[in-house]
């Protein structure tokens, strides 16, 4: 077992499948943003393409949520991938043909096909990332979003060229995912290795409401009409700046919270959103600075939720397509709600966002989400549940003659075999219960930074990289205890 952990610890970050997934993720983000930043003319007036994309993808996500188990059997078939590719190319050609504002029906149909292809690509990336080692997840996403920020010049191309490019990039991304799957199938060992405890996903209403508030707020603040009013050069600088800053912030947040829960990440997004509301009220809606802050928060929120859902899917026993469908349904419907509230301000408060009725309500809602909804206990329960109980149900809660459970005996054995100090063992016990760094610090009366140092030492001595690997290790040790 120690040899297996040592081998896993030496695995390189940049394997061929990892590089293919990063390249595909760059294609997925670029495709979605190429679609979202365009203005699609339908009927008598302009309708934001982002609104259309959210509506189409919300319907598709509802289908994934309802039919996930049935679709899982056919999703990897070559004909399905070919169909998605053909749909993306047809959609891009339809959009290019109607880029002058004519043929509104053809444009809507083409944009719907591109939106579906974009969603399929993002879901395929999530599925691949969910199979990656937990310690690789933040690094792979960070590299992808950082490299994708240099794609800003693409947004200044003529409209017809952008539509063709979006279809080609989506096609390339799907081809890269297919290649990554083929490589993984060839390299997969003949024997199955246990992946650790898995539990059904039972969403916490508090977290769902909190995420919906954040998503609605980012969509409310996202400057959908702002892009038409600035010059191409300013737009290029604006896009690169916001995406680059969002990528760097994501990397810092992922690094800081790697040994804790996702609470730091969500609270950081909440803080940036509140800064955006304050700057919009102080400087006005047309000011460059609050718009940059708002767009940065919008991108950062998408990166963080993408990481969180991939992490959740890696150990949840819930059907992945159903999980991804529920995620995008929440994301897109909340986005539509935020856009609707933004439009409502024009009716109820025509003085501008500095006198925004719904903006004030959303700002208060963000504070409530940060203080009462998206808390350490709620997030801990959302991602890990009653971890010890789940492990016990998986292997059988067997009491020893000395009064200790299998879990206790396993932790004692692991702590002794790997030379953990008494304090490190206490941290190990609480981590095996699914506790976060903040909770452990409060329980042991030490600072969170001290807890993270202990966690780093525990990981190093056990040869693991994440909480999921720790739980897997405890499960394996517990399963082997009766045989000894």
* Tens digits of residue pLDDT in 34-52: 888 776 655 445 567 888 8
Give the whole-angstrom CA distance, residue 132 versus residue 313.
11
Between 111 and 407, where is the model more confident? 111
Mean pLDDT, range 100-128, rounded to an integer? 87
Q: Is 287 a residue whose pLDDT tops 70?
A: yes
pLDDT of residue 357: 78
- Is 374 strand, coil or helix? coil
Q: Is 410 a residue whose pLDDT tops 60?
A: yes
pLDDT of residue 5: 41
CB atoms within 10 A of CB 282: 11
pLDDT of residue 157: 85
Q: How confident is the model at residue 148 (pLDDT cuts 50, 70, 90)?
A: very high
Give the whole-angstrom CA distance, residue 423 versus residue 421.
5
Q: Is 276 a residue whose pLDDT tops 70?
A: yes
Give the whole-angstrom CA distance, residue 399 versus residue 392.
11
pLDDT of residue 209: 92
Q: How would you label 36-74 residue by residue, b for 16+ Cβ within 10 Å and e otherwise? A: bbbebbbeeeeebbbbbbbbbbbebbbebbeebeebeee
Q: Is 270 a residue whose pLDDT tops 50?
A: yes
Top-ranked range on mean pLDDT: pick from 259-273, 364-378, 379-393? 364-378
pLDDT of residue 6: 43
Do 98 and 164 contact (CB within 8 A), yes or no?
A: no
Between 26 and 104, where is the model more confident? 26
pLDDT of residue 190: 43
Between 380 and 119, where is the model more confident? 119
Mean pLDDT, range 64-90, rounded to an integer? 85
Q: How confident is the model at residue 281 (pLDDT cuts 50, 70, 90)?
A: confident
CA angle 207, 212, 215 (to 5 degrees): 125
Q: How confident is the model at residue 101 (pLDDT cuts 50, 70, 90)?
A: low
Indicate the pTM of the whole model: 0.84
pLDDT of residue 69: 84
Looking at 75-89, 351-365, 411-425, 443-457, which range is the least confident one?
351-365
pLDDT of residue 193: 40
pLDDT of residue 396: 45
Between 452 and 275, where is the model more confident? 275
Mean pLDDT, range 409-430, rounded to an integer? 85
Radius of gyration over alpha carbons of the chain, in Å?
24
Give the whole-angstrom CA distance, residue 4 versus residue 21.
25
Looking at 84-93, 170-179, 307-316, 322-331, which range is the least confident one?
307-316
Q: How confident is the model at residue 3 (pLDDT cuts 50, 70, 90)?
A: very low
Between 5 and 116, where is the model more confident? 116
Residue listed under structure tokens 């590089």: 19
Q: Would the CA dihedral through 277, 281, 285, 286 be positive or negative?
A: negative
Q: How confident is the model at residue 380 (pLDDT cuts 50, 70, 90)?
A: confident
Q: How confident is the model at residue 324 (pLDDT cuts 50, 70, 90)?
A: very high
Do 435 and 263 contact (CB within 8 A), yes or no?
A: no
pLDDT of residue 141: 92
Q: Per residue in 207-251, pLDDT tens?
A: 899 999 999 998 888 776 666 677 777 888 888 889 999 999 999
Which region, left, alpha or beta, applies to residue 403 given φ > 0 means left and ψ of -120 to 50 means alpha? left
pLDDT of residue 261: 61
pLDDT of residue 337: 93
pLDDT of residue 96: 86
Q: Per residue in 341-367, pLDDT tens?
A: 888 877 776 555 455 778 888 999 999
Looking at 51-55, 143-147, 189-193, which range is the least confident one?
189-193
Between 397 and 96, where is the model more confident? 96
Contacts 24+ apart (CB under 8 A), 165-169: 165/34, 165/92, 166/31, 166/34, 166/35, 166/88, 166/92, 166/95, 166/114, 167/88, 167/89, 167/91, 167/92, 167/93, 167/114, 167/117, 168/89, 168/92, 169/27, 169/30, 169/31, 169/34
pLDDT of residue 112: 92
pLDDT of residue 29: 94
pLDDT of residue 334: 93
pLDDT of residue 282: 83
Q: Is 187 a residue whose pLDDT tops 80?
A: no
Q: Is 338 a residue whose pLDDT tops 70?
A: yes
Give the whole-angstrom CA distance, residue 78 versus residue 172.
15
- Is 409 strand, coil or helix? helix
pLDDT of residue 30: 93
Nearest CA to 61 out of 332, 318, 299 is that of 332
pLDDT of residue 72: 77
- Average pLDDT across the chain, whole number: 80
């Amino acid at each position: 077992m120690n040899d297996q952990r040592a081998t896993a610890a030496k695995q390189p970050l940049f394997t061929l499948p990892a590089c293919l997934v990063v390249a595909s993720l760059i294609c997925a983000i670029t495709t979605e943003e190429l679609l979202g930043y365009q203005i699609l003319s339908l009927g008598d007036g302009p309708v934001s393409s982002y609104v259309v994309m959210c509506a189409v993808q919300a319907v598709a996500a509802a289908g994934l949520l309802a039919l996930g188990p049935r679709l899982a059997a056919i999703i990897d078939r070559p004909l399905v991938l070919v169909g998605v590719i053909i749909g993306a190319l047809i959609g891009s050609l339809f959009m290019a043909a109607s880029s002058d504002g004519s043929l509104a029906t053809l444009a809507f149909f083409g944009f719907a096909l591109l939106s579906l292809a974009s969603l399929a690509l993002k879901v395929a990336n999530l599925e691949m990332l969910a199979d990656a080692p937990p310690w690789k997840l933040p690094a792979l996403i960070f590299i992808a979003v950082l490299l994708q920020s240099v794609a800003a010049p693409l947004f200044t191309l003529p409209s017809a060229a952008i539509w063709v490019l979006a279809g080609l990039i989506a096609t390339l991304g799907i081809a890269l995912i297919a290649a990554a799957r083929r490589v993984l199938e060839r390299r997969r060992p003949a024997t199955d290795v246990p992946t650790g405890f898995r539990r059904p996903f039972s969403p916490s209403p508090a977290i769902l409401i909190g995420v919906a508030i954040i998503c609605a707020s980012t969509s409310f603040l996202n400057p959908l009409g702002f892009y038409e009013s600035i010059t191409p050069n300013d737009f290029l600088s604006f896009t690169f700046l916001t995406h680059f800053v969002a990528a760097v912030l994501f990397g810092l947040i992922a690094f800081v919270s790697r040994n804790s829960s996702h609470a730091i990440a969500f609270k950081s997004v909440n803080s940036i959103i509140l800064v955006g509301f304050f700057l919009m009220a102080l400087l006005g809606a047309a000011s460059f600075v609050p718009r940059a802050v708002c767009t940065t928060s919008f991108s950062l929120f998408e990166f963080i939720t993408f990481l969180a859902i991939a992490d959740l899917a890696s150990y949840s026993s819930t059907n992945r397509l159903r999980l991804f469908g529920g995620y995008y349904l929440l994301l897109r419907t909340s986005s539509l709600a935020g856009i609707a509230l933004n439009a409502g301000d024009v009716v109820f408060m025509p003085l501008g966002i500095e006198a925004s009725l719904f903006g004030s309500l959303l700002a208060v809602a963000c504070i409530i989400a940060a203080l009462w909804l998206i808390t350490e206990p709620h997030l801990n329960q959302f991602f890990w549940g009653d971890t010890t109980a789940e492990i016990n149900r998986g292997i059988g809660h067997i009491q020893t003659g000395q009064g200790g459970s299998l879990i206790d005996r396993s932790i004692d054995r692991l702590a002794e075999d790997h030379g953990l100090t008494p304090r490190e063992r206490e941290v190990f016990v609480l981590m095996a219960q699914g506790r976060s760094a903040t909770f452990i610090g409060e329980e042991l009366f030490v600072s969170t930074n001290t807890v993270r140092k202990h966690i780093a030492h525990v990981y190093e001595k056990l040869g693991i990289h994440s909480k999921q690997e720790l739980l897997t290790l405890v499960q394996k040790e517990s399963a082997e205890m009766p045989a000894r």
